[in-house]
Amino acid sequence: MRRWTLARSSVFRRLHGHKPKRFSAVVNDVERVSVRIGSSGIVTIDLHNIAKVSSPDPLLIYLPPFSTALADRPAQLPRFLQRQPTAVINYRWVGFSPFQAKDSGASGSDKQLEEDELTHLSWPAPIHDTARAYDWIVENLSPPAYTRRNIYIYGSYLGASLATSLALTETHPHARMGLRGVVAYNGIYNWTTFLPDHPINQASKLRSRGIFEEILARPGDPNFQELKQHVEALFGRPDNLFDPFASPCLFFQTPGLYVPPSFDASALSSVASLLDSPTDPEDTSQLLMPSTPPRRSPLIFPPRKSTLKIPETLLLHSTPPQLPPSFQRRRQRRKKEHVGNSFKAQAKELAELMRRSINKLELKERLEWDHDLEGLGDEAARRVQVYDAGFNTGDYNLNGKGEELAAAWLEDQTS
């Protein structure tokens, strides 16, 4: 067994444009390969159990919950993947990772180099890394001619957003080797919901709230709240939240929002604010701001002339922490359940959009020539499934129930 010795500072030397060293390091059944991303450095891929299976066997891709590009050892696989041939894409995405808070003891020049590189590794670096790594996997792990190989992808938290957008844009059923399905856990599929103008944040502003409503309006999951607090660090600019590769829901519909000047500001003008705050007569910026949001409209996705297909999908979300008993009783007496922003709400919105696409586009068009589809009324619900995985473990790992759900879904897909 060879010890894994990849240092954090050595990663940045290669990212900075120095000639990369082609290497593979083996720890048990893990091999690491480096793939160049044009002039922006490299992305590493950890290959688990690849040599144990024949090439036509299904391949799994794992996108960790946060960037593992700076880790000094391979990311630990979820239990349901540990015996599977799996490729881990160590995408680069600064702004949210426990590794960034650790001092590696690097020299002053190394630290300055790291600071310079971190400014270039925010969005859209992770989507470029993921796409290039996927291309490398298809090019280098394809089966022999005239045979097929299916790929399934799993991602959680930040990795869930990337996994979902990759699956939506790379699922070509007739490809000899390609994505067939995706499992995502606690992903953010519409980052624009964190902006003040989003309707999910507006409903509570239209009525006066007591302490009970205030508590219900807060995200119950601390991991969800932590992602919300890191939005600016992850994306840099508000317009990046409108990228459908970051917010996969926006493949299916327009956001219904204008891009705001900052993450905590509104893009809409308020008549009251114009009357209350004196402005420079020559400054017409506020007067030019719209007073109402644009209309949200459905989009055609996948495009009609493409070979894309909505993938087999399992969206898992955690159960928010329970409220105190007194608040639970008050919630039960409410006629209408409070709907706030949460991992559950994110999963349900994406599932509804994907199912609508299957029903309105794919099945409707196929029904014109394939009359056998008349009995497939539940096809959309079967292909896009949503399950509650139980309470969060707090460490960004899938809990026992979630592992069982993912393992059963994967076995059903590959059997």
Residue-wise pLDDT for 355-382, tens only, equals: 999 999 988 776 666 666 555 668 999 9
Contacts of 266 (CB under 8 A, 6+ apart): 196, 197, 260
* Regions of the chain with pLDDT less than 50: 1-27, 101-110, 112-113, 116, 206, 208-209, 211-212, 215-217, 271-276
Question: CA-CA distances (angstroms) from residue 280 to 266, 270, 285, 292, 411?
Answer: 20, 16, 10, 23, 65
- What integer pLDDT is reported at residue 122 of this predicted model? 85
Is 66 in contact with 158 (CB distance < 8 Å)? Answer: yes
pTM: 0.83
- What integer pLDDT is reported at residue 329 of this predicted model? 53
| Rounded-to-integer distance, Cα 71 and Cα 46, Å | 12
| Rounded-to-integer distance, Cα 315 and Cα 185, Å | 6
- What integer pLDDT is reported at residue 7 of this predicted model? 35
- What integer pLDDT is reported at residue 297 of this predicted model? 96
- What integer pLDDT is reported at residue 324 of this predicted model? 57
Cα end-to-end span (Å), the chain:
33
- What integer pLDDT is reported at residue 66 of this predicted model? 95
Structure tokens belonging to residue 220: 């119950």
- Write b or e for each residue in 96-132: b if 16 or more Cβ atoms lie within 10 A of its Cβ, otherwise e: bbeeeeeeeebeeebeebbeebbeebbbebbbbbbbb
- What integer pLDDT is reported at residue 40 of this predicted model? 86
Of all helices (H) and strands (E), which one includes residue 221? Answer: none
DSSP state of 279: -
Residue 392 C-alpha from the chain's centroid? 18
- What integer pLDDT is reported at residue 18 of this predicted model? 36
- What integer pLDDT is reported at residue 99 of this predicted model? 54
Of all helices (H) and strands (E), which one includes residue 267? Answer: none
Longest Cα–Cα distance of the chain, Å, equals: 73
Which residue is associated with the tokens 């299957």?
358
- What integer pLDDT is reported at residue 15 of this predicted model? 39
